[in-house]
């Protein structure tokens, strides 16, 4: 008897789950019908939007960071390009603009979105005095704004948390430092990071290191400051604090999908209520979630979606076989943080273990360094684009990097000394 698997969302999480599931089904021979529903003709390599504003070689046009989604649909997957309009977990049915699709198991990978109009004064200035880089069009508009920038106050502002890729604003301001230095404008520019966090990052050891790194670049950090209002000359925080700007780069508030809330699966902001270890929905049976549309306490980043995809496929096949889902997800996140001038930092952490120094992925050998600025980490960041296109999206394993975080090579004694 055929089991119907419906995957909603054709971004990173949806594509990886679909491809991994199809490969697993081919090996183990369960009779699965895998259907992926989404409405994105192009797939965007999202880390590339960090480089577009600076017109970095290899990241100058959308063609440099986009490919057709159909390029990544593996054998055994039916891809349906339709706009989803409703989810009914009682009837196990999903409605689109063109019809209905039944399912036996459902996977939600609907991502999240920026909400510019959530901030007073921001919509009127968006694309003029205020810019972003979390969407392809905004990143290209910011490239023009930076080309016209001649010095003054350049403010990078995080409106509120959570956001996709929490380290991206730090990377942007470091790359701005590099860019302005090369243009001879750095001495005429005050760079300021405004964040609702207590510092540059959420984890203490990493926060200390990154905050110190920003201070070394003469980048001012304004902590504990969410965004309430934008005017032509300054941004305002709820406590009345203001920060002047000549060019504002802001990361607007993020929300999940209305489809998730309307289906009774969400937290009111469109993020699905998710068991952080099994990745099962808390409000319905036979529903799994991964990626940016979950509410689990880890980064909303591509690496997280990739690691979660492996857990979702494992647990989905267990349930189909009549066994219980296993609590295997540990919140593993892994990312390179560009710090400018051809260097980057690598961090690797999970729900319980914060980033610490060490070597990655192998002890002693590495070859990459954790929580340290190196040239090799920068090269690793650049190398990730072909890895993403050719290995991650098609569901091919990345050697030595598993879905669960390893402590091998990590200086775990640092955590003990902190206590």
By residue range, what is the domain housing residue 300?
A: 3-53+67-112+256-320
Q: How far apart are CA 89 and CA 31, in angstroms?
A: 22
Is residue 280 in some structural domain?
Answer: yes
Is residue 334 over pLDDT 60?
Answer: yes
pLDDT, tens digit (0-9, with 9 covering 90-100), for 384-418 = 999 999 999 999 989 999 999 999 999 999 998 76
Q: How far apart are CA 213 and CA 219, in angstroms?
A: 9
Is residue 353 in some structural domain?
Answer: yes
pLDDT, tens digit (0-9, with 9 covering 90-100), for 78-93 = 999 999 999 999 999 9
For residues 120 and 246, membership in a common domain is answered with: yes
pLDDT, tens digit (0-9, with 9 covering 90-100), for 96-110 = 999 999 999 999 999
Q: How far apart are CA 268 and CA 255, in angstroms?
A: 9
pLDDT of residue 418: 67
pLDDT of residue 203: 84
Confidence band, pLDDT 50/70/90 cuts, at residue 53: very high
For residues 298 and 406, membership in a common domain is answered with: no
Angle separating helix axes 168-182 and 204-216, nearest 10 degrees: 10
pLDDT, tens digit (0-9, with 9 covering 90-100), for 242-293 = 999 999 999 999 999 999 999 999 999 999 999 999 999 999 999 999 999 9
Q: Which three-class secondary structure state does DSSP give residue 385?
A: helix
Is residue 325 in some structural domain?
Answer: no
Is residue 268 in some structural domain?
Answer: yes
Last residue of a domain, one of 220, 253, 286: 253
pLDDT of residue 419: 56
For residues 266 and 355, membership in a common domain is answered with: no
Domain count along the chain: 3
Bridge partners, 396 (sequence order):
none
* CATH at residue 220: 3.50.50.60
Q: By percentage, how much of the chain surpasses pLDDT 90?
A: 95
Q: By percentage, how much of the chain surpasses pLDDT 70?
A: 100
For residues 267 and 311, membership in a common domain is answered with: yes
For residues 225 and 265, membership in a common domain is answered with: no
For residues 237 and 285, membership in a common domain is answered with: no
For residues 271 and 204, membership in a common domain is answered with: no
Last residue of a domain, one of 270, 285, 320: 320
Main-chain phi, psi angles of 334, to 5 degrees: -145, 125
Q: What is the mean pLDDT of the chain?
A: 96
Category of 288 on φ-ψ map: left (φ > 0), alpha (ψ -120 to 50) or beta: beta
pLDDT of residue 30: 77
- Average pLDDT estimate for 194-203: 91
Is residue 263 in some structural domain?
Answer: yes
pLDDT of residue 173: 98
Q: How far apart are CA 243 and CA 286, in angstroms?
A: 48
For residues 123 and 241, membership in a common domain is answered with: yes
């Amino acid at each position: 008897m055929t089991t119907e698997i419906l995957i909603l969302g054709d971004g990173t999480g949806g594509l990886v789950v679909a491809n991994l599931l199809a490969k697993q089904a081919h090996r183990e021979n369960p009779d699965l019908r895998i259907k992926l529903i989404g409405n994105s003709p192009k797939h965007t390599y999202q880390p590339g939007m960090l480089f577009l504003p600076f017109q970095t070689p290899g990241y100058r046009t959308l063609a440099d960071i986009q490919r057709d989604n159909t390029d990544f649909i593996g054998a055994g997957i039916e891809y349906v390009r339709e706009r989803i309009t409703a989810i009914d977990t009682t009837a196990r049915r999903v409605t689109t603009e063109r019809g209905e699709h039944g399912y036996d198991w459902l996977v939600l990978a609907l991502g999240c979105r920026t909400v510019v109009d959530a901030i007073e004064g921001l919509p009127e200035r968006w694309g003029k005095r205020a810019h972003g880089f979390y969407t392809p069009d905004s990143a290209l508009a910011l490239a023009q704004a930076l080309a016209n920038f001649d010095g003054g106050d350049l403010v990078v502002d995080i409106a509120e948390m959570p956001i996709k890729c929490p380290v991206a604003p730090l990377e942007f301001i470091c790359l701005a430092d590099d860019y302005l230095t090369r243009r001879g404008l750095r001495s005429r520019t005050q760079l300021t990071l405004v964040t609702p966090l207590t510092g540059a990052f959420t984890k203490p050891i990493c926060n200390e290191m990154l905050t110190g790194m920003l201070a070394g670049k003469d980048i001012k950090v304004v902590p504990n400051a969410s965004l309430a209002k934008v005017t032509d000359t300054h941004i305002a925080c709820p406590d009345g604090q203001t920060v002047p700007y000549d060019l504002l780069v802001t990361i607007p508030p993020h929300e999940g999908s209305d489809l998730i809330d309307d289906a009774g699966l969400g937290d009111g902001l469109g993020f699905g209520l998710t068991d952080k270890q099994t990745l099962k929905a808390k409000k319905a049976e036979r529903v799994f979630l991964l990626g940016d549309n979950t509410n689990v306490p880890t980064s909303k980043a591509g690496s997280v979606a990739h690691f979660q995809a492996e857990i979702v496929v494992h647990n989905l096949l267990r349930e189909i076989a009549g066994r219980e889902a296993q609590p295997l997800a540990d919140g593993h996140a892994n990312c390179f943080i560009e710090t400018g001038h051809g260097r980057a930092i690598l961090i690797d952490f999970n729900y319980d273990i914060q980033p610490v120094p060490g070597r990655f992925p192998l002890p002693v050998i590495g070859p990459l360094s954790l929580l340290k600025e190196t040239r090799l980490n920068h090269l690793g960041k650049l190398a990730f684009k072909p890895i993403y296109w050719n290995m991650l999206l098609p569901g091919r394993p990345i050697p030595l990097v598993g879905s669960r975080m390893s402590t091998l090579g990590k200086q775990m004694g640092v955590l003990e000394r902190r206590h």
